[in-house]
Amino acid sequence: MFDTCFEQPSLSRRAAGRADRAALYAAGTATARIPSRHPSPFRYPGGKSWLFPHVRQQLLNREATPSVFIEPFAGGASVGLGVALHGLAERVLLSELDRDVSAVWEVVITGSDAAAAELCQRILAFSVSQETVESVLGSEPISVLDRAFRTIVRNRMARGGILHPSAGLLKAGENGKGLLSRWYPVTLVKRIKVLRDTRDRINFERGDAFDVVRRYANDPTTFIFVDPPYTLGGKRTGSKLYTHAEIDHEQLFSLMTRVKGTFIITYNDAPEVRELADRHGFQVEGVLMKNAHHAMIHELVISPARNRDDR
């Protein structure tokens, strides 16, 4: 049974499988109604919408569609949502520990139609001013719906979309529009409605990323996309952005050596990260991306060794 998991299909079978996935992707692009790189209602610091084309191509080139595409540090989940929207995996599993971020996904993905509709109505009806924003952010949520709405307001109004309690509000904003510069209620509602239409392919759970990876580590048919907080080496930017920023990076790399499926890990380009990847026998690719300040910076895309027996 183990050997058959890695049996090489004929070239014709490979070509047919890739053609089928390409057709699914094309169909998804035609029906999704939103850009594949920006499906999330969040403007997330450290978001990975820029990486989606790379992941998409990997999935299209695979010999078989992943049974599950897993994003255990979901956050804004742009990559996982893009995979679901375009049918690039049989299903997508998103996991997030942060209570506020989770509340949004619990309404948008797993919530009732009534709850999702109410969230959309609140977004459309919200009149943005310093007073109304401060009132929402200063409120104590009674329900998951209340928390989801407060999280969306904070995410759109905070500098850089940062959800950390220390983040200040936008001042000048885009084109001098202040708080209004990042509040696009119609766009937000469209994105939520598209995700509701796709929720039969998406599962969400609030939980620890390490537990999720352990649960699927022995399944060779999965694809795991790991985008942890950047708190190893360099400027440790993740510590300023997220509520649950501190993780055991050594334990994460050790855990990923046990994963039998395909995976990608993204990190800041720091000597400590490269050393950790090298010590665990992983491949490291440096890529250029544009940060929130439109500066080009290097990030790392880390993946399994080509010959895993060499690890």
pLDDT, average across residues 160-186: 64
User: Is residue 304's pLDDT more than 80?
Assistant: yes
- Delineate the domains of the chain, giving CATH numbers in brackets: 2-110+198-310 (3.40.50.150)
Q: What is the pLDDT of residues 78-113, one digit of tens each?
A: 999 999 999 999 999 999 999 999 999 999 999 999
For residues 103 and 123, what is the distance between their CA atoms, to the nearest angstrom? 15
* pLDDT greater than 70 at residue 165: no
pLDDT over 60 (residue 309): no
> pTM for the full model?
0.81
Q: In this predicted structure, what is the pLDDT of residue 135?
A: 92
> What pLDDT does 164 receive?
57
Q: What is the pLDDT of residue 46?
A: 61
Q: What is the mean pLDDT of residues 225-238?
A: 68
Give mean pLDDT, residues 292-302: 72
